[in-house]
Every structure is written in structure tokens, then in C-alpha cells.
């Protein structure tokens, strides 16, 4: 089908932040293409405004197929939300080559490849947008055990800035969202506090929706988000 609604691709949309973003965009009249590892298990399967596709950040072919299926189904692409990611709780002294390769493949190389594949379609949109859900760990290193993760998130933030420069003339805008702990499975396991005190996935979904709908004359580079207050954020 083709649609007059704006269309956004969202990686890692099976649960947590990605699912909340999908729900928010659908409620606001967007159509969504969701990249998940097991499409048949998606709660969005059967929604006429949602396309659920197999996506694996370690499988470049799945990225190409997902973009192609999105364009074939909807006929357009207006937004790309990089949400899929992983955490390996190791310091830079503990991390092995395999750890480095895995976390950088998922957190950096896959969103870079997806951006490359989706870019020509975003340039055709009236207001092409890329949103990278990174982390405050892409702005500072909070602990030794988050060192490897922070390295990958610093790189993800740099990717978002690199995309901003690429879209300077075409009007494709790129924004990086940098949250601290979020009330997801990963955030709850790491934060060691009541999940009701943390930033909620729905909070980030509202921010992503706002960024996607801003005009090109309101280009926001980064949005740090903290559930409370720390020294810098």
C-alpha cells in the first residue's frame, strides 16, 4: 500500500522504548515500520498502519531487506529511529576483542548501515528525520563497568552528528537522544532503584515524536535526559 501518513522506521521495537515510540507515533497518525528479531511475536502484527519486519543488527542483509520492504509497502520514508542497542558491563581493562566487536557491531555499525540504506528515501521526504537513541553514557563515563558501553555510545553520538552534517543542505535533520536509566528490562536491572523513579519509555516516546515533527528550521543536535539531576545532566 501507499500512504499519505508519514512513515517512520524504528529498530528494536519489540518492547521497551522502541514499542513505546511505535505506540506514540501510531496514536499521532504516523505509519510505522518496526524492526524486530521475531516479527511473529510482535504486539503490532495485524495493525494496518504497522509493518513488522525481521531485523537483526548482526545481519546486514536483514537491514537491506527491511528498508526495501518498508518502501515497497508504504512507498515513502520520513523518519528513521535508531533504538536497538545492547550493554556489556565491562571496563575497558576487562573487555576482550570479541566484546568490542559485538557491542560496536550492534550499537554503531548497524545504525550506520541502516542510515546509508535509508538516506536516499529520507532525502526525498519533505522533512526527513533521523533520531538516534543513544545514552548519557555517550556524554560521560559514569563508572568503570560502563566503560566499554560508553565507548560505543560515544561513537553512536558521533554517528548522529555525522548524519547532521550530511543532511545540512538536503534538509534531513539528525538528533541524538541521550537518556540515563530508563524503566526497561535493562534499565531496571542496572539502576538498582524503583522503576517508578526512572525515566519512562513513554517519556522518551514523547520526545522522539516532538523531534520528528519539528521543521527543518528547528534543528536540535542533542537532548540529554535524566530521571533526576546529576552534576552535569
171 three-state secondary structure: coil
Q: Grid cell 548501515 — which residue?
A: 113
Q: Quick check: is 149 catalytic?
A: yes
Q: How many CB atoms lie within 10 A of CB 105?
A: 16
Grid cell at residue 151 = 565507548
Q: 149, 154, 181, 227: which one is catalytic?
A: 149
Residues tagged active-site = 149
Amino acid at each position: 500500500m501507499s500512504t499519505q501518513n508519514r512513515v517512520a522506521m524504528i529498530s528494536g521495537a519489540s518492547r521497551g522504548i522502541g514499542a513505546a515510540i511505535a505506540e506514540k507515533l501510531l496514536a499521532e497518525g504516523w505509519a510505522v515500520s518496526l524492526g524486530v528479531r521475531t516479527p511473529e511475536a510482535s504486539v503490532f502484527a495485524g495493525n494496518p498502519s504497522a509493518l513488522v519486519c525481521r531485523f537483526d543488527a548482526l545481519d546486514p542483509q536483514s537491514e537491506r531487506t527491511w528498508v526495501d520492504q518498508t518502501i515497497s509497502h508504504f512507498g515513502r520514508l520520513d523518519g528513521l529511529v535508531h533504538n536497538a542497542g545492547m550493554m556489556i558491563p565491562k571496563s575497558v581493562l576487562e573487555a576482550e576483542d570479541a566484546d568490542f566487536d559485538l557491542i560496536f557491531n550492534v550499537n554503531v555499525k548497524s545504525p550506520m548501515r541502516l542510515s546509508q540504506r535509508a538516506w536516499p528515501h529520507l532525502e526525498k521526504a519533505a522533512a526527513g528525520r533521523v533520531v538516534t537513541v543513544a545514552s548519557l553514557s555517550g556524554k560521560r563515563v559514569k563508572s568503570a563497568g560502563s566503560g566499554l558501553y560508553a565507548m560505543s555510545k560515544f561513537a553512536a553520538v558521533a554517528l548522529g552528528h555525522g548524519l547532521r552534517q550530511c543532511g545540512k543542505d538536503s534538509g534531513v535533520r539528525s538528533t541524538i537522544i541521550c537518556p540515563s536509566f530508563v524503566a526497561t528490562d535493562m534499565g531496571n536491572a542496572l539502576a538498582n532503584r524503583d522503576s517508578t523513579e526512572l525515566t519512562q519509555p513513554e517519556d522518551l516516546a514523547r520526545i522522539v515524536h516532538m523531534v520528528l515533527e519539528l521543521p527543518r528550521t528547528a534543528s536540535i543536535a542533542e537532548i540529554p535526559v535524566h530521571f533526576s539531576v546529576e552534576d552535569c545532566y
